[in-house]
Structure 1
């Protein structure tokens, strides 16, 4: 919207006011004026949810229905049409500062079932008195405010539209501005609890503004609009969204919120002005706020790929700008309705503005404008699932964005005077546009008459004409589907139709309609859209990973260096999880995959498994399976409740990823030299008085009191009076000292609540000292041997302990830091315990089904840290502060991550793009050759699998082939019965999922071998009423299939799969 004020609207609205005055007794005529101008008039409801034509209209609703259109050009056109003259120049931006109404709440009265007698008459009474405020009584104003659907802001907006010299809107736009110019009472009036004083207070406020501010109310409204648009910041928007939705996830670059429908809203906090990402195309009310529409794969804020599930590169998204708090609230309200953004809502909105009758009046300025999203062709283009970038030449006439192209020579297009057009459509721009317009009208006429074949003949861009046909078809009997590219039709499984020499879009749509099988049209389209998105995401991921992709059969076996992050991907049953053992052993044993395979051939699989389990027992391998409910708290760290002596406490517990990272970070040489065990616990210990402490340091011991208990290594001691006299807390401390502390654990000796004075490693089990040394306090008889590696320290441990001081309790585990954290902190203070750890032992984390987890939720901010260059110790290493423990964390460079991914899993939306960029992909294709020696009654099982997969590749794609692992058990049990069981229990169910229960295609995969047959016994016409075809789109052509169990009993059916067309 231009930031130049223009008050031509005042004159136009005055004329509208004079026109409306004559329609109080002809309200249907007022509605007709709106409809004739092309304005969509909402239906009434009576009774509730029963739509009926609207028959009543008041002056304020009349103007509100005009002002609900956010595009100034369209509003100007509507006003001109209603008044029958060009009073507003549509080439000039109007209405800056004029409040617009919310399209879904434009009427000033409720539905008929909720309407009170006299509601509409009260609105007419106020309208007829408003030119003389003295005629308006407090009661009249109060009664209008009491109408359901009318609020103070909305009513003052209506008064301002008709009489801006007398009234100023007190709404979300003007109130902040009035407060800034020292009129805080505006806010009080707007939010007053009592309607009874609203009129007097409103008049008093207007009077004070007139006295203090000489400019007209229209100017104030404009200034408020201008200032409000500038002032609303990203920080304010985040504050509002936090209040509405709670804490976001993200970073300083993006903040992502979720509403109750799991829809995401994202804000870039680094910007001063607010810009908001949403995942749905908004209503036309927000079209002026659209900054950009991002299609699948369009580059955007890169941090969305890390922190968002739905707004990253793999999805489409919409970026909105120039929002105020009021418009943000309206946006959030709309975003929380389940039907919002749905295809039906979008079609209805389009048709409300571009009814069939409006096409004959179409002008180029409203035909296609790149950033005018309610222009005809630009809006039509958004019905493609891709959305995103659009190109003017697809619409045959356009205004190039690059003026340098205006006079260039082109064989197909003409560029002249800032316009461009397709030469075959006309010699001049005007002639070309008229041709386009006529053909658009022809498409609409043909689709309305069901003449789909004629549409194929019209010379318009295929996508354009079928988008037009889609939106203008009769949705009571829909035949056109919103899929406008051959690639998308292939993704839906119609490759054979697309590849046919006689391909037509209508042929594809007819097959789609047959396959719909009576399902609700819009729900069916939604399911198909999801399939396309999944396929596109998968293709994108494969493209991104292509530079790192490796086929196992093509690896350079001379190279022993291993990728830090790798994913084994392939169809189900190709041995991905099986091969993680090989890859892990190759890493841990410092060799290559081929050497491991050779070892498997010579020593057997059991030896590999034995080696694998040994590494796992040593803590060098961890295995986890991702699933939808797996979270950051499970994987990295989270807060856990613990019961200690009957009381519940909460501590931060590491997840599997942090555990293995800490383990990999440990300096094994130092630990071995010092006797520290892997994953050692660190214990705080207080040792009595100074004399006792010095004795312990000199004799490598730790001691605690309560010696009266006697020797606790004897079972009977716990029943003695000496033991039972002490509290349960004392008993717990003794248990920790005796059995909780393990050999190889670390103890730190307390000097004060902030400092430790010694560090030791436990070297021996518990013993009871019956010969009390003279230097030791008399009750300090419970002992263990330690190696004091550091003594006489003055080391402040508070920072390492999360800012928390140590308590006076004799002994307890310190969970806020690890031995490795302590080691690094001591080294930094000059207590050099560690030596260079240049070649640390490798560790392996195996993540099975990695694409089943919510990657953003599981990895969180750590997604960047797993990159090779960002690992600890590298030049570009990064660390983050973990949210629970508040500790700095980085990923060690000796941790290898192996993931598996089932590329045929249709329940997923593909692997997160943020993860794809950080992994090497190793394809695990089906290997029929592994089955070449399996022969069952003359049928070669390797050849059988190869033929099946060739057919699946043609009908679907290679990602959905059948894996050889399904048949490997035949090596041990090569019988027909076992083969039949594999087909019935594994192969057919897999194919059902892959082909979405399209039994005809499954039958093609089996070469019509008789396993899948049409059930001749079911007569559809006998099952349903005579009108089933019209009501549910069923027909006698529908086939019902069944599995023929007898076919599995002989080898003939399997032989037929191998195929022969003769």
Structure 2
């Protein structure tokens, strides 16, 4: 499906639904990439776009802010662009401990955007308003693929962090690196080089440099992070039975945000994480504006009808939501985990007419449904809360929040090998195959072996230069999954621009009419090449017109017509130039004749195809007036 923007028509129609996948197509210079700014704003901030449609500078500023926030990503397809760049691939990493090369899966631009769009805040607490003066630390909590993978969940559940270094040594009371070193020595641990030993360094940082109020970012490998917390307690020794020599160093933490799946590092960092277990994230490495946005976010991710931050009854606040449990902060402190299955069973009883919500509220469930296999003391102990939860599931649309949409702009989408770049995901981008749709599909990715689906809040906006490849020749799989919006040349935008009496809009219109006859409409000349002359009156002169023709128009015509100078001259109407008017293309004046080069017999069989550009024509307004011909 394709649409065409015509004269007098608003480029973006606020009444029409926004397509998840669309391509802006047209000849060079028609403003396709320029238009992606408004296309992205139409998705992300439609009210802002409507209020500032005529102020390009303000729109571009807002667009740049969204790019900085990671809500808009931009990529250009080319012949070397691959699946590994777009979805995922393997990247060589040097292990900082062993110095050995190892390979880890690195997410491509599309996968990382999808994961950021699909992420759920599984736990949330009120964050500090002022981040100034707080140190921010990166810390690893176990290895997701290692024997200590359980450490992360333990820390999140317990409200603390555990350091894997330090063996089973109590460092309480240590105030310096030297004191920490002495504790190692007294415990019988010999450090080869106390000045560089990382175990000594990490324990010293954890015990002596971390302070209450500092923030903590928990990494997930080098390319993702999965939690943000605030240090709330001093160092404490926590001996363990399961890890006798490890994870005995502890600090209490208030978890401000936990994410599932983990977020790409670009949502917070300017660079990827180091492998070091614990180190300070200094300004320039971490983007403080992104951190502030993450901690102040008002987005609410719905799962099973509930979202973090939601309030019920007399002050029960949802703190964590998973597929099986919804966990509340109780009005007087403490946590209350409730199984989702129990809430849904009560909902089913109301749907079959066995009980009403009021029966739940008044504690009459077991009177009405004697055979109910429910935890009686839990249901009756929190009857008002369960009644509110069932009401919530009966009316999910009333509280379902707007989703945090993301936009991927793919410039020159037709220049890449679409089948090779998208791979199996070409099916998943269809509206009906997106996550949450009735016909949703997912695939197992080849490198990470993770199951992957495309969220329904990821929008793809492509641009396509029809001079490179016509719409008819586009990959059929791509054509079926995108809507197409034509961006034609619009000479009417230039009708008010005149240079010494020559109407620039009419000049462009006439050249394009000739190109359509000699070639096709896919190779017309775009109005964008001349827009500076309209928008900046100081550039509306012959010198600027000559610059545009010399640097942009003639090279494009050479490419279009494969150096067929005769046809180029026809586009410029040189064949009808009157005496005294300089043609743009002419036969070389100083070259030898064909007879002199080949002899008269051969010369009679040849057609002289030698041409050259006439520099004098670019500086003569009469030459441009001649392009108009009878239309002038």
Counterpart in the other structure of 1:559? 15
- Mapped to 2, the partners of 1:589 and 1:713 lie a distance apart of 51
**C-alpha contact 1:844 1:896 (8 A) present in aligned 2:** yes
- TM, length-normalised to structure 2: 0.62
Q: 2:560 aligns with which of 994, 997, 1020?
A: 994
- Mapped to 2, the partners of 1:1051 and 1:718 lie a distance apart of 83
CA 1:872/1:907 → structure 2, altered by over 3 Å: closer, same or farther?
closer
Counterpart in the other structure of 2:356? none
**C-alpha contact 1:675 1:744 (8 A) present in aligned 2:** no
Matched, 1:875 2:438: yes
Deviations 1:221-255 (A, max 9, x none): xxxxxxxxxxxxxxxxxxxxxxxxxxxxxxxxxxx
Matched, 1:663 2:116: yes
Deviation at residue 551 of structure 1 after TM alignment: 3.1
- Mapped to 1, the partners of 2:402 and 2:519 lie a distance apart of 47
CA 1:763/1:1050 → structure 2, altered by over 3 Å: closer, same or farther?
same
Matched, 1:964 2:527: yes
- Mapped to 1, the partners of 2:155 and 2:73 lie a distance apart of 43
Deviation at residue 927 of structure 1 after TM alignment: 1.4
**C-alpha contact 1:760 1:786 (8 A) present in aligned 2:** no
**C-alpha contact 1:640 1:651 (8 A) present in aligned 2:** yes
- Mapped to 2, the partners of 1:600 and 1:573 lie a distance apart of 21
- Mapped to 1, the partners of 2:161 and 2:118 lie a distance apart of 29
User: How do 1:342-491 residues align onto structure 2 when only pairs under 5 Å count?
Assistant: none
Matched, 1:764 2:230: yes
**C-alpha contact 1:871 1:877 (8 A) present in aligned 2:** yes
Deviation at residue 568 of structure 1 after TM alignment: 0.4
More strand by share: 2
Deviation at residue 1022 of structure 1 after TM alignment: 2.6
1:897 aligns to what SS in structure 2? strand
User: How do 1:462-611 residues align onto structure 2 when only pairs under 5 Å count?
Assistant: 547-551=1-5, 553=9, 557-591=13-47, 596=49, 599-601=52-54, 604-611=55-62
User: How do 1:693-772 residues align onto structure 2 when only pairs under 5 Å count?
Assistant: 700-706=160-166, 724-725=193-194, 730=199, 743=215, 745-746=217-218, 761-764=227-230, 769=235
**C-alpha contact 2:229 2:256 (8 A) present in aligned 1:** no
**C-alpha contact 2:141 2:163 (8 A) present in aligned 1:** no
Counterpart in the other structure of 1:633? 84
**C-alpha contact 1:762 1:786 (8 A) present in aligned 2:** no
- Mapped to 2, the partners of 1:852 and 1:914 lie a distance apart of 15
CA 1:1006/1:785 → structure 2, altered by over 3 Å: closer, same or farther?
farther
**C-alpha contact 2:139 2:277 (8 A) present in aligned 1:** no
Deviation at residue 703 of structure 1 after TM alignment: 4.2
User: How do 1:792-941 residues align onto structure 2 when only pairs under 5 Å count?
Assistant: 827-830=322-325, 839-905=402-468, 910-941=473-504
Task: Kindly tell me the number of residue pairs found equivalent between the two proteins.
Answer: 463
- TM, length-normalised to structure 1: 0.38
2:52 aligns to what SS in structure 1? helix
Counterpart in the other structure of 2:622? 1052
CA 1:736/1:561 → structure 2, altered by over 3 Å: closer, same or farther?
farther
**Contiguous gaps of at least 5 residues in structure 2:** 129-137, 185-190, 259-274, 280-299, 305-319, 328-336, 341-392, 578-582
- Mapped to 2, the partners of 1:721 and 1:859 lie a distance apart of 56
Deviations 1:919-960 (A, max 9, x none): 110111111122222221111211111111111111111111
Counterpart in the other structure of 2:518? 955
Counterpart in the other structure of 1:1003? 569
Deviation at residue 632 of structure 1 after TM alignment: 0.2
CA 1:987/1:719 → structure 2, altered by over 3 Å: closer, same or farther?
farther
- Mapped to 1, the partners of 2:45 and 2:481 lie a distance apart of 24
- Mapped to 2, the partners of 1:893 and 1:1042 lie a distance apart of 55
Deviation at residue 1015 of structure 1 after TM alignment: 2.2
Q: 1:985 aligns with which of 535, 538, 551?
A: 551
Deviation at residue 911 of structure 1 after TM alignment: 2.5
**C-alpha contact 1:999 1:1041 (8 A) present in aligned 2:** yes
CA 1:713/1:986 → structure 2, altered by over 3 Å: closer, same or farther?
farther
Counterpart in the other structure of 2:106? 653
Counterpart in the other structure of 1:1020? 594
CA 1:779/1:898 → structure 2, altered by over 3 Å: closer, same or farther?
closer
2:15 aligns to what SS in structure 1? coil
**C-alpha contact 1:903 1:959 (8 A) present in aligned 2:** yes
2:548 aligns to what SS in structure 1? helix
Deviation at residue 853 of structure 1 after TM alignment: 0.5
- Mapped to 1, the partners of 2:624 and 2:420 lie a distance apart of 46
2:481 aligns to what SS in structure 1? coil
Counterpart in the other structure of 1:380? none
More helix by share: 1
- Mapped to 1, the partners of 2:600 and 2:180 lie a distance apart of 86
Deviation at residue 705 of structure 1 after TM alignment: 4.1
**C-alpha contact 1:852 1:908 (8 A) present in aligned 2:** no
- Mapped to 1, the partners of 2:629 and 2:179 lie a distance apart of 82
- Mapped to 2, the partners of 1:564 and 1:854 lie a distance apart of 21
- Mapped to 2, the partners of 1:904 and 1:659 lie a distance apart of 31
- Mapped to 2, the partners of 1:849 and 1:698 lie a distance apart of 50
**C-alpha contact 1:869 1:875 (8 A) present in aligned 2:** yes
Deviation at residue 730 of structure 1 after TM alignment: 3.5
Deviation at residue 863 of structure 1 after TM alignment: 0.4
Higher relative contact order (CA 8 A, sep 6+): 2
1:651 aligns to what SS in structure 2? strand
Deviation at residue 764 of structure 1 after TM alignment: 2.7
**C-alpha contact 1:711 1:768 (8 A) present in aligned 2:** no
